[in-house]
Amino acid sequence: MRRAAAGLGALGLLLALPACSRGGGTLAPGETAVLEVRGHTLVAELAADGPHREQGLMFRRELPEDHGMLFLFPEASQLSFWMRNTYLPLTIAFLDDDGNVLNLEDMQPFDETTLHRSARSCRMALEMSQGWFEAHGVGPGDRVEMNLPRDLWIH
């Protein structure tokens, strides 16, 4: 799958499990959060540490409907993602600290040459199946509602 890189560094991916809450400590594999955008609910696997961001959605052959992966970074920078070892066509939404969509980028399977970058420095990115955002009328300026503890990615 593609990789998320702050500047030109790390990588990322998703799994789909029931939503659960975080109570401090390290992030458990497959931990998820329920998000909402434009009245649509989705489940996002959280990638809030190096190993989860690096793995991202690589090697996955399926993504359940209305499921994705939310990448959280400790510091704002221009994020870059690519599609190394990723079988699924995805769309990535880069989000500001308030959850507002900055820009969307479609990403093609196994494309290791194209870097998909955030329009400006940010700390969050949400990957969904390609076409999900368009089908739900989501675009730049829309807000993704999430109730995540700030310490989840600020560490």
Segments of the chain scoring below 70 in pLDDT: 1-30, 150-155
Q: Is residue 96 in some structural domain?
A: yes
What is the CATH classification number for the domain harbouring 75? 2.60.120.1140
Determine the pLDDT at residue 148.
79
Q: Is residue 155 in some structural domain?
A: no
- Token reading at 67: 């499921």
Determine the pLDDT at residue 131.
96
Contact 101, 142 (CB under 8 A): yes
Determine the pLDDT at residue 150.
63
Rounded-to-integer distance, Cα 155 and Cα 141, Å: 27
Determine the pLDDT at residue 151.
63
Indicate the number of domains in the chain. Answer: 1
Determine the pLDDT at residue 9.
32
Domain carrying residue 87? 4-150
Determine the pLDDT at residue 29.
56
Rounded-to-integer distance, Cα 111 and Cα 100, Å: 27
Q: Residue 46, Cα to own-chain centre: how many angstroms?
A: 8
Q: Is residue 28 in some structural domain?
A: yes
